[in-house]
Amino acid sequence: MLGVVGFFIYAKENARLFDSVNPRYAQQLLEIEMFTFCSLDIVDEKAAKATEMFLGQLYNDQKWRSFGFITNTGVRMILVLDATSAASLKDQEIRLIFKRFHGHYCNTISNPFYEIGTPMQSKWFDEGIRDLYSISE
């Protein structure tokens, strides 16, 4: 079990575009959201110095760990993992997840029915999330 807890996307000004929390962790939703917002502050800090889009580990506490990614256009993505799970994702795998979701994001904003700045819904994200949670089983 790899313990993928959730995936979040925020716009440049931190407006939330997409969020998903693994149903397995639905009980701790508030805690996870709080943790994500804490991580979001660290994105700003790290982005200024970063030399690549992947920001590495942002924040961790006893329960969760978060990884960040910022695109050239300032879109932030945050992946939350369970810090207590035995096995964990490798750095390379996490990069791949972000890359894949960046692709999904591109596809979603290309939808003519999508209004810029509003929360996103798309079959790409749905599929991506399904894959993400299934690998963590």
Partner 1 sequence: MAFPFDIFHAEIIRTVLEGEKERCAAKEEFGTILENLNGPADIEKYDGLVQKAFLHVNAETKLESIGFRVGRQLVEKVSKEAPKLVTELEIVKFICKDFWSSVFGKQVDNLRTNHQVSLNFHFFFHFHTKNYTYTVSGI
The least distance separating partner 1 from the CB of residue 112, rounded to whole angstroms, comes to 8
- By CB under 8 A, which span of 2-10, 36-44, 48-56, 57-65 interacts with partner 1? 48-56
- Using CB under 8 A, pick the residue from 11, 38, 42, 53 that binds partner 1: 53
52 near partner 1, rule: CB under 8 A: yes
Give the Cα separation of 94 and 37 in Å (integer): 20
- Could you say whether residue 92 binds partner 1 (CB under 8 A)? no
Q: Does 73 bind partner 1 (CB under 8 A)?
A: yes
Closer CB to partner 1, residue 84 or residue 111? Answer: 111
